[in-house]
């Protein structure tokens, strides 16, 4: 999984010096998406099957240890190590059967020496001193590990064709293929990830997503012959798409909030006043969102959260300005000049969006409308009272 929330599977004992028989098979497993965010992108793993030797193992690069010290901090800051773990094929398959997620298997057309080299590589890679790696959402995850392993085992012998790619897409486009825009998951991802994911992905880079690994392998040759000899539907289930209840969806709540904001602002306009608690909450929430964006951008190792210009409308300073609006009177005059800066920054967000320097969530339109409405009213109110 690209966002794998899996505890370590029970490790199989390492068979030192064990070799495969001539009938052994090595295949790539691709698993369909689940209904939870962490499983929305599917999963990849490697299967080694050798009936003669009693081997039927699945090598899984998408695991981490929940008992890691400071687990939640490391997870949030991008410092959590992911690992290669090994389980039996039946145990691996059981999980996806329970979750009603499809599983496809691609048998690799490898020579006997290649199979031995592949298996030896995995055996060495699963050792405690080798199995950990620094996870990266886009460039080093359970999906990207597969082409990496293939090219290391068989260097300079694989040719990757991009004929299966119908159009050029950015990383954000590829991520959103697995999500619905009117979901909190989609909105949260667009809020957390920066402009770095809006560049066009190279064909090889599409393989940060499991299904594109599967598609790429079908269009890959080894020594000028197809790498995949056979494709099998192991588990057949319809695509999992979580159902969105409209009354719980972000567009419902953002439209409701916009209507409420218009109502509050109209009442304040008629009375020539301001609702202190409404403004406090508005600045508090945008300030907290800005602090989160700042943390992800500057204080973590996540490559995909850099250059996030959502921070232009979700300003961290709003967290402190919020308490100014709790006052009944005597708000510092510079606060109203600050409102002009905020309006300008929102305009800058629109410009960045129009030129696709960063693509924001479509749902952001409602938030920007609320902020411009309220900031403009508060600035006008101050001018009126001067």
- What average pLDDT does the segment 166-188 reach? 93
List pLDDT tens digits, range 54-104: 999 999 998 887 777 887 778 778 888 999 999 999 999 999 999 999 999
Among the ranges given (67-81, 152-166, 343-357), the one the predictor scored with the smallest mean pLDDT: 67-81
Tell me, what's the pLDDT at 9? Answer: 44
Predicted confidence (pLDDT) per residue in 263-296, tens digit: 999 999 999 999 999 999 999 999 999 999 999 9
Which helix (H) or strand (E) covers residue 98, if one does?
helix 89-98
25-65 pLDDT per residue, tens: 999 999 999 888 778 899 999 999 999 999 999 999 988 87
pLDDT for 4: 42
Domain ranges (residues) in the chain: 25-235, 246-385
Query: Of 96, 58, 47, 41, nearest to 208 (Cα)?
Result: 41
Distance CA 334, CA 159 (A): 62
Q: 3-class DSSP state for residue 377?
A: helix
Considering the chain, what percentage of its residues have pLDDT values greater than 70? 95
pLDDT band at 344 (very low <50, low <70, confident <90, very high): very high
Positive or negative torsion for Cα 150, 155, 158, 162: positive
* pTM, two decimal places: 0.89
* Chain segment 121-154, per-residue pLDDT in tens: 999 999 999 999 999 999 999 999 999 999 999 9
Strand partners, 25: 49
Least confident piece of the model among 11-15, 208-212, 257-261, 306-310: 11-15
User: Distance of CA 302 to CAs 137, 138, 187, 192, 371, Å?
Assistant: 8, 9, 18, 10, 29
| Model confidence at 194: pLDDT above 60 | yes
- In this prediction, residue 10 carries a pLDDT of 45
- Nearest alpha-carbon partner for 40 in 79, 82, 72, 4: 4
- Look at residue 8 in the predicted model and tell me its pLDDT: 42
pLDDT digits (tens, 9 = 90+) for 315-340: 999 999 999 999 877 778 888 899 99
Instruction: Look at residue 3 and tell me whether its pLDDT is greater than 60.
Output: no
User: What pLDDT score was predicted for residue 76?
Assistant: 76
CATH architecture for the domain at 25-235:
Alpha-Beta Complex (3.90)
């Amino acid at each position: 999984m690209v966002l794998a929330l899996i505890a370590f599977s029970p490790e199989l004992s390492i068979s030192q010096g064990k070799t495969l028989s001539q009938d052994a098979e090595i295949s790539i497993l691709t698993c369909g998406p689940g209904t939870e965010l962490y499983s929305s992108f599917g999963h990849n793993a490697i299967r080694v099957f050798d009936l003669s030797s009693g081997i039927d193992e699945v090598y899984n690069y998408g695991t981490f240890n929940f008992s890691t010290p400071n687990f939640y901090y490391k997870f949030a800051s991008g410092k959590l190590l992911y690992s290669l773990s090994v389980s039996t094929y039946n145990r691996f398959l059981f999980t996806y059967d329970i979750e009603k997620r499809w599983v496809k298997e691609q048998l690799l057309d490898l020579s006997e020496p290649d199979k031995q080299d592949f298996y030896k590589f995995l055996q060495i890679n699963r050792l405690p001193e080798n199995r950990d790696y620094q996870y990266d959402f886009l460039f080093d995850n359970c999906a990207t590990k597969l082409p990496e392993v293939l090219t290391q085992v068989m260097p300079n012998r694989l040719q990757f064709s991009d004929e299966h790619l119908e159009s050029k897409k950015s990383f954000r486009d590829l991520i959103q293929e697995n999500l619905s825009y009117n979901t909190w998951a989609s909105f949260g991802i667009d809020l957390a990830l920066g402009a770095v994911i809006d560049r066009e992905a190279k064909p090889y880079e599409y393989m940060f997503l499991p299904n594109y690994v599967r598609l790429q392998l079908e269009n890959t040759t080894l020594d000028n012959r197809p790498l995949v000899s056979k494709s099998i539907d192991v588990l057949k289930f319809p695509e999992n798409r979580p159902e969105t209840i409209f009354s719980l969806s972000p567009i419902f709540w953002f439209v409701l909030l916009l209507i409420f904001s218009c109502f509050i602002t109209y009442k304040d306009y008629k009375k020539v006043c301001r609702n202190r608690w409404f403004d406090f909450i508005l600045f508090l929430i945008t300030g907290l969102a800005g602090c989160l964006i700042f943390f992800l951008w500057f204080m973590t190792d996540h490559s995909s959260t850099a250059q996030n210009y959502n921070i232009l409308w979700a300003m961290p300073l709003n967290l402190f300005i919020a308490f100014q609006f709790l006052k009944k009177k005597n708000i510092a005059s510079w606060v109203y000049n600050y409102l002009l800066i905020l309006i300008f920054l929102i305009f800058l967000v629109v410009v960045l969006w129009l030129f696709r320097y960063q693509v924001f969530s479509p749902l952001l339109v409602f938030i920007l409308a609320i902020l411009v409405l309220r900031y403009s009213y508060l600035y006008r109110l101050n001018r009126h009272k001067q």
